[in-house]
Amino acid sequence: MHPVRCLIIVTAVLSPACTETLTQALGRLPRTQPDPPISVEDTVTAKALRDALATGYVHGPLVIIANGDGALRSSSLPHVDSVTFLLLTPEHIQALADEYGDLSYVKILGPTVRDSVATVTIGLDGAFSRAQHPYGVVDGGGSCEWRLTRGNGQWRAERSRMICMIS
């Protein structure tokens, strides 16, 4: 066989084996295991995120959450058997998008707690590969605000009071 043809065949066969996918890269990152809530803010954040998963607003089985200011902790996450969480910085999320392609992630703002009422905003956003989109992407994210109330010592999400906005 001609050496150039052999090189082309070997390259074609090995190329996919040497290329790591986003799924493989995410599989190497440490998961954040949910811990019991430490504060009221942890409790309402976990309850809102659990409701966002239950309603299908946030999808598993792997949920990437931007944790830019470090305010979210493992104690802010609900324990859901079918879901794995990754708490990553926005810079890490962008680096993954640049290397592997566009990806979706969750942003959690809040919570605000006043007496027996709390609100938590959960947004869906995307990180876009700057190599694939050198001129940028105009894409508005969406977010929903969960209102939770406390009664009988329990926080409950009021689905009828969920307000969503798409920008």
- How many angstroms separate the Cα of 118 from the Cα of each of 69, 72, 73, 121, 131? 20, 16, 18, 10, 41
The 10s digit of each residue's pLDDT in 68-85 is 888 899 999 999 999 999
Q: What is the pTM of this model?
A: 0.80
The 10s digit of each residue's pLDDT in 31-68 is 999 999 999 999 999 999 999 999 999 998 999 999 98
> Which of 19 and 76 is assigned the larger pLDDT?
76
The 10s digit of each residue's pLDDT in 111-166 is 999 999 999 999 999 888 888 766 665 566 788 999 999 999 999 998 765 677 76
The amino acid sitting at 158 is: E
Strand 142-151 versus strand 154-157 pairing type:
antiparallel
Residue 151, strand partner residues? 154
